[in-house]
Amino acid sequence: MDITQVKATISRGNQAARDGIDLTRGVRDRTEQAHTLAVGTVHDSGHKDVEAGLHKLLEALRESSRVAGLLHSGADAAQEYASRL
């Protein structure tokens, strides 16, 4: 594989990462909406399963942000590498 092919492969990988970031943002938005609706629906419920479900939705929000950040930093690192070739 020559330098041009390596750069093209990195470019395709970066596009895939950007697509993943967009997808993750969409998942985060939908999860945030689900959490908002759930909070409104179960207002003042003390049921342990309800609390566990709300906790899992918040955990999903944190993790989706983490995934987007990892994809972004990975794409940045790959782009930096490609620029040095």
Rounded distance, CA 30 to CA 51, Å? 19
pLDDT tens figures, 33-72: 999 999 988 877 778 898 899 999 999 999 999 999 999 9
* 39 contacts: CB under 8 Å, gap ≥ 6: 54
Q: Model pTM?
A: 0.79
Q: What is the pLDDT of residue 65?
A: 93
Q: What is the pLDDT of residue 46?
A: 77
Report domain extents, the chain.
3-84
